[in-house]
Amino acid sequence: MDFYEVIQRRRSVRKYKTDPVGDDKLHRILNAARLAPSAANRQPIFFIVVRDDKIKQRLKDAYSQEWFFTAPMIICACALPDKAWKRNDGRTYIDVDVAIAMDHLILAATAEGLGTCWIAAFKPSVVKEVLNISDNVEPLILTPLGYPEVIPASTYRKPLNEIIREIK
């Protein structure tokens, strides 16, 4: 699939088939995330891949939407704030680093014919407990990963002229 087609095809998928995802596909998707750039190349991120049904059940206390759990796996993008690059004024770029890696993962999943959905509205304390995540690590984004049961229509985007300011 052409790069621009991948970008056009990506959707937030909220209905999944239970069909398993092959290890080769998963490996390519995670590797795409690994290749993401990060500020000062600190790479302050890792991913937890959850396939275990019992753990998935326990994650329902963190995010209760049933559709989320029909996908065969859930991926949790974790940030390592202490490792992230900070600007001189102290501003951290951790969220940018995680977002880039996550977007690589999500676009790679689209290229593999798989669905994903960025999820931020979860309870981090529950995710930390269920996934045994240590204090210095922040679970930042979750996504299901699986074959879409329904591919949603595209959602509204502002026209280009509303998001570009040219200084000539």
Among residues 67 and 85, whose Cβ is nearest to ligand FMN?
Answer: 67
Cβ proximity to ligand FMN, 89 vs 162, nearer residue:
162
Q: How far is the CB of 68 from ligand FMN (least distance, A)?
A: 8
CA distance 68 to 14: 7
Whichever of 23 and 139 has its CB closer to ligand FMN, that residue is 139
The nearest distance, CB 166 to ligand FMN, in angstroms, is 26
Element (H, E) at 19: none
Smallest distance from ligand FMN to CB 95, Å: 9
Residues 95-134: x/- map of binding to ligand FMN (CB under 6 A)? ----------------------xxxxx-------------
What is the rounded CA–CA span in Å between residue 122 and residue 91?
25
* Interacting residues of 118 by C-beta distance below 8 A, sequence separation 6+: 12, 102, 106, 141, 143
Q: Which candidate, 130, 134, 159, 137, places its Cα nearest to that of 53?
A: 130
Give the side-chain half-sphere CA count within 13 A for 8. 5
User: Could you say which residues in the range 6-25 bind ligand FMN, by CB under 6 A?
Assistant: 11-12
Nearest distance in Å: CB 12, ligand FMN? 3
Pick the closer one to ligand FMN by CB: 35 or 153: 153
Q: In angstroms, give the least distance from the CB of 137 to ligand FMN.
A: 18
**Packing angle between helix 23-34 and helix 94-111, nearest 10 degrees?**
150
163 binds ligand FMN (CB under 6 A): no
65: left (phi over 0), alpha (psi -120 to 50) or beta: beta
| Token duo for residue 140 | 């930042």
Sites of contact with ligand FMN (CB under 6 A)? 11-12, 117-121, 152, 155
